[in-house]
């Protein structure tokens, strides 16, 4: 990996019971993402690519520009945090993917989003 490009991504998720309906197979999860730039170059987040997989093996792919309507510039030593949500048809699932960034020299690169679990509390042991 280019030493200029050192982006780390961490995620936490929680079940949003008030917006979910088990009878309708509608499970909403909020997730908070923290993106930290510990590289030697500032980087702008251009695009996201998510892969969501529910407990039935159904896969949803999400591609789009930026996150939450933004394409943030993350300077060296800084971080950017946002919260969004995902809809699944099961009470357990996983998310993973990558962000595409552009550095100050115009080079694009991908930063992986490690897999994390979406689950109703006390569903997994």
Banded model confidence at residue 3, pLDDT cuts 50, 70, 90: low
Looking at the predicted structure, is the pLDDT value of residue 1 above 60?
no
pTM recorded for the entire structure:
0.91
CA–CA dist 34, 10 (Å, integer): 5
pLDDT at 8: 96
Domain parsing of the chain, residue ranges: 7-119
Q: Where are the beta strands (DSSP E) in the chain?
A: 7-15, 27-37, 43-54, 59-65, 73-74, 79-88, 92-103, 108-119
The CATH number of domain 7-119 is 3.40.1030.10: no
Average pLDDT over residues 25-50: 97
Nearest partner of 29 among 114, 98, 111, 121, judged by Cα: 121
């Amino acid at each position: 990996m280019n030493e200029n490009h050192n982006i780390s991504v961490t995620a936490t998720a929680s079940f949003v019971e008030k917006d979910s309906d088990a009878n309708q197979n509608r499970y909403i999860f909020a997730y908070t993402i923290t993106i930290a730039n510990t590289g030697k170059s500032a980087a702008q987040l251009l695009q996201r690519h998510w892969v969501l997989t529910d407990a039935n093996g159904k896969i949803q792919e999400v591609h789009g520009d930026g996150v939450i309507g933004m394409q943030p510039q993350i300077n060296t030593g800084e971080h950017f945090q946002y919260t969004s949500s995902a809809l699944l048809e099961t009470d357990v699932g996983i998310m993973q993917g990558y962000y595409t960034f552009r550095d100050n020299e115009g080079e694009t690169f991908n930063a992986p989003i490690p897999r994390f679990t979406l689950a109703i509390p006390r569903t997994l042991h």
